Structure 1
Amino acid sequence: MRVLGTAAGGGFPQWNCTCPNCHDVRKGNKALRPLLQSSLAISANEKDWYLINAGPDVPKQIESFASLHPGPGIRETPLAGVILTDAELDHTIGLLSLREGSCLTIYGTEIVKKCMQSSFPVLPMLKNYCSWEWQPLSPDFRQRVGPLGEEAIIVETVPVSRKPPLYTQANKEDDSPEDYWEVGLVLHNESSGRCLAYFPTLERISPAIEACLQKADILMVDGTFWSEHELVEMGATGRSARSMGHLPISGQSGVAEKLALYPAERKIMIHINNSNPILRKGSMERDTLERLGFEIAYDGMEVEV
């Protein structure tokens, strides 16, 4: 299974952001470079590719990976579908950019499907441009992704959070307290027996999540914020990392402390916010992680599972 990835959570520099990282990118600091929104492209056969999440940078991401280029036929594309971990705008708005494809399979939980038919009606909009098919994701069963009769990827769905997107806050009448809005994925290579755990958001590490992280050969895990009060100290917001649904990397019971105990051969920080000092090459925070054996995701990163 081949995995192509992009790294950031914040896609910096943002035009209205005054954090040190964004400021230094604009000033041409070579220790920093703008990154695209966090996403993966996966394939079991090098022919049929699936995006995990589709953010606003989808056109750039497709253009940057030759394996995703369209053709040779008119409207022919190697992109077979999109797997969604939640309904957040930075993970779903790119579906509108994929409307020129002839057919698209979208995988997600039922609450995400419901949301994209109402609060953010992407699915009704797409039907006038291309055909699409919805395939459900559920913790109760593993989903096979790939053409029948060929090597496939097995997707294991893991509940992460009941926190809905902000844009749904005004329309909660259909919301159920049992609904998980955010999930993580364990991607199993049917042929090799190896697996990759992909958790772009983590508000806590539940026993179910811990079991997945313990068994995975490669971890790609939420590295959004370095510290609990990162944005508060910058004056950007009054909300802490955990209140926004993200465990910080540092500190007691932070992501780094937890992941250091797991046996995975590679541990990669993804979904990195523009404020996070690990984006700076040579920073104390980045050096600390690298000494502990962690990698910092970057645009164009490739892994084999």
Structure 2
Amino acid sequence: MGTAAGGGFPQWNCACPNCRDVREGAPALTPFLQSSLAINANEKDWYLINAGPDVTNQIESFAPLHAGPGIRETPLAGVILTDAELDHTIGLLSLREGSKLTIYGTEAIRKSLHSAFPVFPMLKNYCAWEWQTLYPDSMQEIGAFGESVQLMIETVPVSKKPPLYIQSNIVDEDRHLDVWEAGLVFHNIGSGKCFAYFPTLENITPAIEAHLRKADVLMVDGTFWSEDELTRLGATERDARNMGHLPISGLSGTAQKLASFPAERKILTHINNSNPILRKDSRERYTLEQLGFEIAYDGMEVEV
């Protein structure tokens, strides 16, 4: 099973120190495309994990996803969504020419994309996508990769917090649709190994911890270094946890919790532009590297 990753979701027109240094050409900083992932198990059919606003740039930057040789022929077979947030779904609008895509997500995500953010109604005259619901705490096959290599996926509930654009009355009407954010654990039946992808982590529950401990490779939420990262900058009144992200540092942070986990590789992704670990020469990045963590970057490849 092969994956190619994007490292973060910086918006380089903001006024935080990292963005200012990027604009001024600081050598220790490199801008990233939006956090995303491409995965396959047969060197032919690829699946995107989330589709952000710069999905077309990401596809163009990765040769195995290039279209052709036939008209409207593409190796992209589908998109697997971890949530219904705009930074993970708005790119679906740019994929409207992919008429044979299969879109995977929880029932809450499906309803959101048919109502609050009506991607499917908007695109019904452009493409005929197939929807496949991901069911929490169950093992499901993704695609048809043949008998020699099989890719299975487990959907792990992460949060009941809906996107900001979801009206409260919609949530009240559908309280049973409570898996708004999920983590994904991919199982390569051929190798017997698994890859855990949790781009957002509100908390590491015992159930989530059990999945992370059994994974051979972890790629997890590295959005913020500290709890008050954005509030100190005056960018927002909400701290990291209120925005649905467990910070990296601190006694209950990601680094402390995951440092002893047995995974072969531990990779941080979905990194905000305010996060000091974006700086290759930062103390925070050095600390993580000493603990065995890697920082995702555009074009990173992982074999599982």
TM-score > 0.5, shorter chain as reference: yes
Partner of 1:166: 164
CA distance in 2, matches of 1:228, 1:128: 44
* Secondary structure of the corresponding residue to residue 56 of structure 2: helix
Amino acid across the alignment from 2:158: V
| Corresponding residue for residue 244 of structure 1 | 243
Task: For residue 139 of structure 1, report the CA deviation from its aligned partner.
Answer: 1.6
Cα shift at 1:56: 0.5
SS class of match (1:220): strand
Report matched runs for 1:1-305 at 5 Å. 1-8=1-8, 10-13=9-12, 15=13, 17-147=14-144, 149-150=146-147, 151-172=149-170, 173-176=172-175, 179-305=178-304
Are the equivalent residues in 2 in contact too, given 1:162–1:177 (CA < 8 A)? Answer: no
Paired letter, 2:265? R
How many angstroms does 1:146 deviate by?
2.1
2:259, 2:31 → 1: CA distance?
Answer: 28
Amino acid in the other structure paired with 1:168: I
Structure 1 stretches of 5 or more lacking a match? Answer: none
AA aligned opposite 2:52 = G
What residue identity is the alignment partner of 2:113?
M
What is the TM-score when the length of structure 1 is the normalising length?
Answer: 0.97
SS where residue 267 of structure 1 aligns? strand
1:63-103: CA deviation from partner (whole Å, max 9, x where unpaired): 00100000000000000000000000000000010001121
Whole-angstrom CA distance in 1 between matches of 2:252 and 2:177 = 26
The 8 Å contact of residues 42 and 145 in structure 2, kept in 1 or not, is answered as no
Give unpaired runs (5+ residues) of structure 2: none
Q: Once the 2 structures are TM-superposed, how far is the Cα of residue 131 of structure 1 from its aligned partner?
A: 1.1
TM-score computed with the length of structure 2 as normaliser: 0.97
Post-superposition Cα deviations, 1:268-291, rounded to whole Å, max 9, x if no partner, equal 000000000000011000000001
TM-superposed CA distance for 1:177, in Å, is: 5.8
**Identity of matched residues, %:** 72
Deviates more, 1:164-173 or 1:220-229: 164-173
**Deviations 1:13-37, CA, capped at 9 Å, x for gaps:** 1x2x110000000101111111011
Aligned counterparts of 1:141 and 1:250: Cα–Cα separation in 2: 32
Deviation of residue 147 (structure 1)? 1.5
Does structure 2 conserve the Cα–Cα contact (< 8 Å) formed by 1:226 and 1:248?
Answer: yes
How far did 1:141 drift?
2.1
Distance of 1:44 and 1:163 partners within structure 2: 32
Per the TM alignment, residue 167 of structure 1 is displaced from its structure 2 partner at its CA by 0.4
Query: What displacement does 1:106 show?
Result: 0.4
Q: Which deviates more, 239-248 or 138-147?
A: 138-147
Q: Distance in 2 between matches of 1:86 and 1:152?
A: 24
2:106 partner letter: T
In 2, Cα distance between equivalents of 1:170 and 1:203: 20
Corresponding pairs, count: 302
For 2:235 and 2:10, how far apart are their aligned partners in 1?
Answer: 16
Runs of 4+ in 1 over 2 A off after TM superposition: 148-152, 169-175
Calculate the aligned-residue CA RMSD, in Å. 1.1
SS at match of 1:288: helix
Tell me how far 1:181 sits from its aligned partner.
0.3
Separation (CA, whole Å) in 2 of partners of 1:188 and 1:262: 18
AA in 1 matched with 2:245: H
State how far apart, in whole Å, the 2-side matches of 1:139 and 1:108 are: 10
Change (3 A) 1:140 1:286: closer
d(CA) in 1 for partners of 2:238 and 2:108? 26
Deviations 1:166-198 (A, max 9, x none): 001354243316611000000111100100110
Q: C-alpha distance in 1, partners of 2:2/2:232?
A: 39
